[in-house]
Amino acid sequence: MELPATSSTTRLEIKRGTRILTEKPFAYVLKSKYRLERCDNCLEAVKVLKCSNCRYVSYCNRACQQQAWPLHKHECPFLKRALPRIVPDAARMLCRLILRLEHGGDLERGYYTAHGSRKFRDLMSHYAEIKNDPKRREHLESLHAVLTEMMTDSSGSTVPNPTELMSIYGRLITNGFNILDAEMNSIATAIYLGVSITDHSCQPNAVATFEGNELHVHAIEDLPCLDWSKIYISYIDLLNTPEQRRADLKEHYYFLCVCSKCIDPQEMHEMTAAVCPNASCDASVNIDLAKCQSCDASVTPELRSAYNEIMSLTQSSLDSMKEVAYLDVCKVCLAKQRGVLHPLNVWHVKTLDAAFEAAINVGKWTDALEYGQQLLPGFAKYHGAWNPLLGLLHMKLGKIQLYERNYKQAVHHLQEAQRILNVTHGRDHRLLLEQLRPLMLQARHEMS
Ligand SMILES: [Zn+2]
Ligand SMILES: [Zn+2]
Ligand SMILES: [Zn+2]
Ligand SMILES: [Zn+2]
């Protein structure tokens, strides 16, 4: 008797929240600004000790140092020579990739299924596009100069020829990941081989999260089977208009997104909508039209000019606050947006996001609660219902409510956080075990 084909294993339905990939990086580097506060190997933020030879990188303990040594031993003399200068992160990453490839990395495979795998050479390099992109070429030239100085000693230079270097650089640009810590801060750059099979969508059905330097991909929708050609993650910030998203994707990944969200004109209008002049109508209004499409109220010249004014003020204010957001600046924008921009206008949502972070930074908890709560619908709409950022927003709100002794509200937000983070991170992720669970226990304890 012949058994049915083994397709049952790959045909199995994937439930939302299933981890579909766990992968260690092919190469990664800790961002230099964390050089003295995080371990160069496990990326943990703990008390660290410098490598006694280069005094450039630091480790949390001997085990991490030993684990890192097979690769670090090649770069250690380069980094030692570089000090007191700090090597740009991209140059350090290229150096690591070069060293990895020189020492057998070219044969290494990253698996995305039991049989499906990719090698570094299989990664897309966008060689032609990069070669024709003056900004990229200039960047690479400056990195080449850094590398040449770094990697040349009495026995000569180990920097690959320009064509080879560009193909490595192209793979880094196109496939690089930012490793995020639990708070979603970018702490390192990495290349993972297996996950590079995954395409982008602005409406993804999977999400990538990290635990230390390990990458996890979780399904955020139920999937009929594990077919990697139909698995999408988002490469970019989804809290942007289709126009901005497409520009981001074109600039970094050299393709034009044609996902349903990018080609839907309604989406663009909603993201930049004004409020309806009719106070009892909550429709989003396209400012270029004469009337509200829902209630026929006329768009007045006053509304149009207020709209243009606040849109440009908001955009320039947010632009100037890319590094640090100031609460007073956010408040001025929010006050002017009221009654002009629709609550789901993406620029309003971005302002709330900045105001929320700014309020937390200066410990204004009442303000933070107000902005955080107003932020929920926009985050859910644009980031999606199953996004780590929405889960984290609920967790932060739960924490503040707990601090403010609103225990019932705290439990509500923490439960929402748990529901989402269980899917995006998995129940056994440290974020849930070490941060969310203690908060939940405390909130429940206080309530009883
Ligand atoms: Zn460590
Ligand atoms: Zn060293
Ligand atoms: Zn798209
Ligand atoms: Zn209306």
Q: Tell me the pLDDT tens digit for each residue of 200-244.
A: 999 999 999 999 999 999 999 999 999 999 999 999 999 999 999
Ligand of minimum distance to the alpha carbon of 279:
4
Q: How many angstroms separate the CA atoms of 419 and 413, rounded? A: 10
Q: How many angstroms separate the CA atoms of 262 and 153, rounded? A: 50
The pTM (predicted TM-score) of the whole model is: 0.92
pLDDT at 268 (0 to 100):
87
pLDDT at 238 (0 to 100):
94
Ligand of minimum distance to the alpha carbon of 67:
1
Q: How many angstroms separate the CA atoms of 199 and 179, rounded? A: 18
**Do 130 and 200 have their domain in common?**
yes
The answer to the question of residue 157 being in a domain is yes
Residue 11's pLDDT band, with cuts at 50, 70 and 90, is low
Burial of residue 134 (CB within 10 Å: 0-12, 13-18, 19+) is: exposed
pLDDT higher than 70, residue 8: no
CATH number of the domain bearing residue 220: 2.170.270.10
pLDDT at 153 (0 to 100):
78
pLDDT tens for 107-130 read 999 999 888 999 999 999 999 999
The answer to the question of residue 3 being in a domain is no
Ligand of minimum distance to the alpha carbon of 202:
3
pLDDT higher than 70, residue 293: yes
pLDDT higher than 70, residue 4: no
pLDDT at 447 (0 to 100):
87
The answer to the question of residue 2 being in a domain is no
236 CA from centroid of ligand 3 (Å): 10
Ligand of minimum distance to the alpha carbon of 293:
4
pLDDT at 260 (0 to 100):
87
Structural domain total, the chain: 3
Contact 368, 356 (CB under 8 A): yes
pLDDT at 76 (0 to 100):
95
pLDDT at 323 (0 to 100):
85
270 CA from centroid of ligand 4 (Å): 13
**Do 253 and 142 have their domain in common?**
yes
54 CA from centroid of ligand 2 (Å): 4
Ligand of minimum distance to the alpha carbon of 283:
4
20 CA from centroid of ligand 3 (Å): 23
**Do 225 and 342 have their domain in common?**
no
**Do 196 and 305 have their domain in common?**
no
Buried b (16+ CB within 10 A) or exposed e, 104-128: ebeeeebebeeeeebebeebebbee
Across the chain, mean pLDDT equals 94
Picking from 230, 263, 296, the residue at the C-terminal end of a domain is 263
Q: Which residues keep their CB under 5 angstroms from ion ligand 4? A: 276, 278, 281, 283, 292, 294-295, 297
Residue 410 CA: distances (Å) to CA of 417, 439, 444: 10, 9, 9
**Do 327 and 389 have their domain in common?**
yes
**Do 170 and 139 have their domain in common?**
yes
Domain that holds residue 350: 264-447
389 CA from centroid of ligand 3 (Å): 19
pLDDT, average across residues 300-328: 95
**Do 17 and 43 have their domain in common?**
no
pLDDT higher than 60, residue 308: yes
Among left, alpha and beta (phi > 0; psi -120 to 50; other), residue 196 is alpha
DSSP state of 291: B
271 CA from centroid of ligand 3 (Å): 14
**Do 93 and 66 have their domain in common?**
no
**Do 315 and 419 have their domain in common?**
yes
Buried b (16+ CB within 10 A) or exposed e, 305-336: ebbeebbebbeebbeebeeebbbebbbebbeb
Q: How many angstroms separate the CA atoms of 169 and 161, rounded? A: 12
292 CA from centroid of ligand 4 (Å): 5
Picking from 200, 231, 263, the residue at the C-terminal end of a domain is 263
**Do 76 and 99 have their domain in common?**
no
Local structure of 189: helix, strand or coil: strand
pLDDT at 102 (0 to 100):
93
Picking from 238, 263, 288, the residue at the C-terminal end of a domain is 263
203 CA from centroid of ligand 3 (Å): 7
CATH number of the domain bearing residue 274: 1.25.40.10
The answer to the question of residue 279 being in a domain is yes
**Do 64 and 81 have their domain in common?**
yes
Burial of residue 234 (CB within 10 Å: 0-12, 13-18, 19+) is: buried
* HSE-up of residue 93 (Cα within 13 Å, Cβ side): 27
**Do 334 and 233 have their domain in common?**
no
Q: What residues have CB less than 8 Å from 150, skipping those under 6 apart?
A: 78, 79, 81, 82, 87, 91, 95
93 CA from centroid of ligand 3 (Å): 29
Residue 79's pLDDT band, with cuts at 50, 70 and 90, is very high
The answer to the question of residue 156 being in a domain is yes
pLDDT at 158 (0 to 100):
84
The answer to the question of residue 6 being in a domain is no
Residue 322 CA: distances (Å) to CA of 218, 319, 325, 332, 353: 30, 6, 7, 17, 12
The answer to the question of residue 442 being in a domain is yes
pLDDT, average across residues 47-74: 96
Neighbours of 175 (CB within 10 A): 22
**Structure tokens, 6:** 């083994």
pLDDT higher than 70, residue 10: no
pLDDT at 448 (0 to 100):
84
**Structure tokens, 54:** 């280069």
The answer to the question of residue 51 being in a domain is yes
96 CA from centroid of ligand 1 (Å): 18
77 CA from centroid of ligand 2 (Å): 7
24 CA from centroid of ligand 1 (Å): 15
